[in-house]
Amino acid sequence: AAVRDVEIDPEGTFKYILVRLQRPGGGEQRDIVRGTKAAEFHNHIFEKVNPEMEKLGYECKCLGGGKIEHDSKDKKIRVFGLSTGYGKADHSVTVEILKKEYTDYEITWSDDKK
């Protein structure tokens, strides 16, 4: 409960990663979404998330990445693209996680690169 499912920038187009958290020994697991304009590369996001989650007792695995286009004025989020280093995240999973947080948004995904 200490970990939010979604932490993304409130506006703009930026890189994101889908991360699987798991308790050591194969206990409960859940997927979280992290994205920010501050990250030049997808691994910069993971390098920030991983130590934070380890402190809380989770093991992290990056399931892939892509980009998010967040338009807070029109309440739209578009998930697309891929990560060169981690590969493409399953955008349909990302969208389901985003829908829990942004309940009044129109959220779509595609395999488009741009």
29 assigned to some structural domain:
yes
88 assigned to some structural domain:
yes
What are the φ and ψ backbone dihedral angles of 46, each rounded to 5 degrees?
-65, -40
Q: Give strand ranges (E) for the chain.
A: 6-8, 12-22, 29-36, 59-71, 76-80, 106-109
What residue ranges of the chain have pLDDT lower than 70? 1
84 assigned to some structural domain:
yes
Q: Specify the number of domains making up the chain.
A: 1
81 assigned to some structural domain:
yes
70 is catalytic: no
1 assigned to some structural domain:
no
SS3 for 19?
strand
CATH of residue 77's domain is 3.50.20.20
Q: Which of 42, 44, 70, 91 is catalytic?
A: 42
What pLDDT, on a 0 to 100 scale, did the predictor assign at position 1?
A: 61
Question: Annotation-wise, does 55 bind a ligand?
Answer: no
